Amino acid sequence: MRILPLFARAYLLDTPAGPLLVDSGMPQESRKLLRLLGDVRPAALLLTHHHLDHAGGARLLWELYRLPIYAHPLDIPYLSGRQRRPAFLPIPWLGDYIANRIQPLPEEALRPVEEAEEVLGWRVVHLPGHTPGQIGLLRQGVLLAGDALRVGPRGPQPPPALVNHDTREARRTVEKIARLEVEAVFVGHGPPTTIGAVRTLAERLT
Ligand SMILES: [Zn+2]
Ligand SMILES: [Zn+2]
Protein backbone atom coordinates (compact mmCIF):
# COMPACT_ATOMS: atom_id res chain seq x y z
CA MET A 1 0.00 0.00 0.00
CA ARG A 2 1.23 3.47 -0.90
CA ILE A 3 0.09 6.66 0.84
CA LEU A 4 -0.29 9.63 -1.51
CA PRO A 5 0.32 12.86 0.47
CA LEU A 6 -2.56 15.04 -0.73
CA PHE A 7 -4.60 17.40 1.49
CA ALA A 8 -6.64 14.31 2.35
CA ARG A 9 -4.42 11.26 2.10
CA ALA A 10 -5.16 8.95 -0.81
CA TYR A 11 -4.16 5.29 -0.79
CA LEU A 12 -2.94 3.15 -3.63
CA LEU A 13 -3.59 -0.55 -3.07
CA ASP A 14 -2.03 -3.40 -5.03
CA THR A 15 -4.59 -6.01 -5.97
CA PRO A 16 -4.48 -8.99 -8.34
CA ALA A 17 -6.98 -7.09 -10.53
CA GLY A 18 -4.69 -4.03 -10.70
CA PRO A 19 -4.07 -0.90 -8.64
CA LEU A 20 -7.05 0.34 -6.61
CA LEU A 21 -6.92 4.04 -5.74
CA VAL A 22 -8.82 5.12 -2.63
CA ASP A 23 -9.75 8.83 -2.76
CA SER A 24 -8.33 11.46 -5.08
CA GLY A 25 -7.48 14.71 -3.28
CA MET A 26 -8.83 18.24 -3.85
CA PRO A 27 -9.93 19.37 -7.33
CA GLN A 28 -6.93 21.74 -7.51
CA GLU A 29 -4.60 18.82 -6.65
CA SER A 30 -5.52 16.78 -9.76
CA ARG A 31 -2.19 17.39 -11.50
CA LYS A 32 -0.27 16.58 -8.31
CA LEU A 33 -2.28 13.36 -8.05
CA LEU A 34 -1.21 12.38 -11.58
CA ARG A 35 2.41 13.19 -10.72
CA LEU A 36 2.24 11.02 -7.59
CA LEU A 37 0.70 8.18 -9.56
CA GLY A 38 3.55 8.33 -12.10
CA ASP A 39 3.35 5.27 -14.36
CA VAL A 40 0.58 3.71 -12.32
CA ARG A 41 -2.79 3.64 -14.04
CA PRO A 42 -5.47 2.77 -11.47
CA ALA A 43 -7.82 -0.04 -12.45
CA ALA A 44 -10.53 1.47 -10.26
CA LEU A 45 -11.15 4.37 -7.90
CA LEU A 46 -13.08 4.11 -4.64
CA LEU A 47 -14.32 7.30 -2.98
CA THR A 48 -14.74 6.96 0.77
CA HIS A 49 -17.27 9.83 0.63
CA HIS A 50 -18.42 12.75 -1.48
CA HIS A 51 -16.39 15.61 0.06
CA LEU A 52 -14.29 17.77 -2.27
CA ASP A 53 -10.96 16.89 -0.63
CA HIS A 54 -11.53 13.19 -1.45
CA ALA A 55 -13.42 13.31 -4.76
CA GLY A 56 -11.44 16.16 -6.37
CA GLY A 57 -9.32 14.16 -8.81
CA ALA A 58 -12.04 11.67 -9.76
CA ARG A 59 -13.32 13.60 -12.76
CA LEU A 60 -9.87 13.92 -14.38
CA LEU A 61 -9.07 10.23 -13.77
CA TRP A 62 -12.37 9.24 -15.36
CA GLU A 63 -11.73 11.48 -18.37
CA LEU A 64 -8.27 9.95 -18.82
CA TYR A 65 -8.97 6.29 -18.10
CA ARG A 66 -12.78 5.74 -18.03
CA LEU A 67 -12.17 3.76 -14.84
CA PRO A 68 -15.05 2.59 -12.62
CA ILE A 69 -15.61 4.86 -9.59
CA TYR A 70 -17.06 3.08 -6.57
CA ALA A 71 -19.03 4.92 -3.88
CA HIS A 72 -21.90 4.29 -1.49
CA PRO A 73 -25.39 4.85 -2.96
CA LEU A 74 -26.17 7.47 -0.29
CA ASP A 75 -23.24 9.65 -1.45
CA ILE A 76 -23.67 9.12 -5.20
CA PRO A 77 -26.29 11.90 -5.62
CA TYR A 78 -23.73 14.44 -4.32
CA LEU A 79 -21.02 13.09 -6.62
CA SER A 80 -23.24 13.12 -9.71
CA GLY A 81 -24.53 16.62 -8.98
CA ARG A 82 -28.15 15.51 -8.46
CA GLN A 83 -27.92 16.86 -4.89
CA ARG A 84 -26.03 19.92 -3.59
CA ARG A 85 -23.36 19.28 -0.98
CA PRO A 86 -24.21 20.87 2.38
CA ALA A 87 -22.33 24.10 3.11
CA PHE A 88 -19.87 23.96 6.03
CA LEU A 89 -19.67 27.74 6.30
CA PRO A 90 -22.86 29.42 7.46
CA ILE A 91 -22.54 32.13 4.82
CA PRO A 92 -25.44 32.54 2.37
CA TRP A 93 -24.48 31.57 -1.19
CA LEU A 94 -20.70 31.50 -0.53
CA GLY A 95 -20.90 28.44 1.76
CA ASP A 96 -22.82 26.51 -0.89
CA TYR A 97 -20.46 27.71 -3.63
CA ILE A 98 -17.33 26.57 -1.75
CA ALA A 99 -18.79 23.15 -0.89
CA ASN A 100 -19.75 22.53 -4.53
CA ARG A 101 -16.84 23.99 -6.48
CA ILE A 102 -16.26 20.76 -8.38
CA GLN A 103 -17.40 19.25 -11.68
CA PRO A 104 -19.96 16.47 -11.16
CA LEU A 105 -19.14 12.89 -12.10
CA PRO A 106 -21.07 11.27 -14.95
CA GLU A 107 -23.66 8.74 -13.76
CA GLU A 108 -22.13 6.03 -15.96
CA ALA A 109 -18.79 6.34 -14.11
CA LEU A 110 -20.34 5.63 -10.70
CA ARG A 111 -20.71 2.11 -9.29
CA PRO A 112 -22.69 1.76 -6.05
CA VAL A 113 -21.17 -0.44 -3.34
CA GLU A 114 -22.62 -1.26 0.03
CA GLU A 115 -21.72 -2.90 3.35
CA ALA A 116 -20.03 -6.34 2.96
CA GLU A 117 -19.58 -6.08 -0.82
CA GLU A 118 -16.07 -6.48 -2.21
CA VAL A 119 -14.08 -4.12 -4.41
CA LEU A 120 -10.99 -5.75 -5.93
CA GLY A 121 -10.67 -8.07 -2.92
CA TRP A 122 -11.28 -5.41 -0.22
CA ARG A 123 -14.46 -5.56 1.87
CA VAL A 124 -16.64 -2.47 2.09
CA VAL A 125 -17.69 -1.28 5.56
CA HIS A 126 -20.42 1.37 5.88
CA LEU A 127 -19.21 4.05 8.33
CA PRO A 128 -21.98 6.69 8.20
CA GLY A 129 -22.22 9.98 10.08
CA HIS A 130 -19.49 12.14 8.57
CA THR A 131 -21.54 11.78 5.38
CA PRO A 132 -24.52 9.45 4.90
CA GLY A 133 -22.54 7.19 2.59
CA GLN A 134 -19.06 7.32 4.15
CA ILE A 135 -17.42 3.92 3.62
CA GLY A 136 -14.21 2.19 4.61
CA LEU A 137 -12.27 -0.72 3.13
CA LEU A 138 -11.06 -3.70 5.14
CA ARG A 139 -8.64 -6.50 4.37
CA GLN A 140 -6.23 -8.61 6.42
CA GLY A 141 -6.19 -6.53 9.58
CA VAL A 142 -6.10 -3.17 7.79
CA LEU A 143 -8.96 -0.67 7.73
CA LEU A 144 -9.00 2.40 5.51
CA ALA A 145 -11.54 4.56 7.34
CA GLY A 146 -11.68 7.75 5.26
CA ASP A 147 -13.00 10.59 7.44
CA ALA A 148 -14.92 8.34 9.86
CA LEU A 149 -12.01 9.07 12.20
CA ARG A 150 -9.46 11.85 12.32
CA VAL A 151 -6.03 11.36 13.91
CA GLY A 152 -4.34 14.26 15.69
CA PRO A 153 -1.68 14.70 18.39
CA ARG A 154 -4.11 13.20 20.94
CA GLY A 155 -4.74 10.16 18.79
CA PRO A 156 -7.95 9.21 16.98
CA GLN A 157 -11.01 11.45 17.36
CA PRO A 158 -14.48 11.47 15.81
CA PRO A 159 -14.65 13.91 12.90
CA PRO A 160 -15.49 17.48 14.05
CA ALA A 161 -19.22 18.24 14.31
CA LEU A 162 -18.98 21.21 11.94
CA VAL A 163 -18.12 18.96 9.00
CA ASN A 164 -20.47 16.07 9.80
CA HIS A 165 -23.80 15.18 8.30
CA ASP A 166 -24.84 13.57 11.62
CA THR A 167 -22.42 13.67 14.55
CA ARG A 168 -24.37 11.21 16.74
CA GLU A 169 -24.23 8.69 13.93
CA ALA A 170 -20.50 9.46 13.47
CA ARG A 171 -19.97 8.53 17.14
CA ARG A 172 -21.88 5.28 16.74
CA THR A 173 -19.60 4.58 13.79
CA VAL A 174 -16.54 4.94 16.06
CA GLU A 175 -18.06 2.15 18.20
CA LYS A 176 -18.61 0.07 15.07
CA ILE A 177 -14.96 0.49 14.07
CA ALA A 178 -13.87 -0.49 17.59
CA ARG A 179 -15.68 -3.82 17.15
CA LEU A 180 -14.02 -4.66 13.81
CA GLU A 181 -11.34 -7.30 13.64
CA VAL A 182 -8.50 -5.11 12.44
CA GLU A 183 -5.13 -3.97 13.74
CA ALA A 184 -4.13 -0.85 11.81
CA VAL A 185 -6.44 2.02 10.89
CA PHE A 186 -5.59 4.51 8.15
CA VAL A 187 -7.52 7.78 7.80
CA GLY A 188 -7.88 10.74 5.44
CA HIS A 189 -6.49 13.28 7.88
CA GLY A 190 -3.60 12.31 10.15
CA PRO A 191 -1.17 9.43 10.54
CA PRO A 192 -2.15 5.76 10.89
CA THR A 193 -3.43 4.61 14.26
CA THR A 194 -4.11 1.32 16.02
CA ILE A 195 -7.39 -0.40 16.81
CA GLY A 196 -6.35 -0.23 20.49
CA ALA A 197 -6.39 3.57 20.36
CA VAL A 198 -9.79 3.51 18.62
CA ARG A 199 -11.18 1.17 21.32
CA THR A 200 -9.96 3.55 24.04
CA LEU A 201 -11.72 6.41 22.24
CA ALA A 202 -14.94 4.38 21.86
CA GLU A 203 -14.97 3.65 25.62
CA ARG A 204 -14.56 7.34 26.36
CA LEU A 205 -17.45 8.26 24.05
CA THR A 206 -19.96 5.90 25.70
ZN1 LIG B 1 -11.52 14.95 4.35
ZN1 LIG C 1 -14.88 14.54 4.72
| Residues around ligand 2, an ion, CB closer than 5 A | 51, 147
Given a contact cutoff of 8 angstroms between Cβ atoms, the answer to whether 56 and 28 are in contact is: yes
Q: Give the model confidence (pLDDT) of 67-117 as tens digits.
A: 999 999 999 999 999 999 988 777 777 888 888 888 999 999 999 999 999
Ligand nearest to the CA of 130: 2
Give the other-Cβ count within 10 Å of 91's Cβ: 11
Q: How far apart are CA 69 and CA 43, in angstroms?
A: 10
Instruction: Calculate how far, in angstroms, residue 119's C-alpha sits from the geometric centre of ligand 1.
Output: 21
- What percent of the chain shows pLDDT beyond 70? 100
Q: Is 147 exposed, middle or buried (0-12, 13-18, 19+ CB in 10 A)?
A: buried
CATH superfamily of 2-205: Ribonuclease Z/Hydroxyacylglutathione hydrolase-like (3.60.15.10)
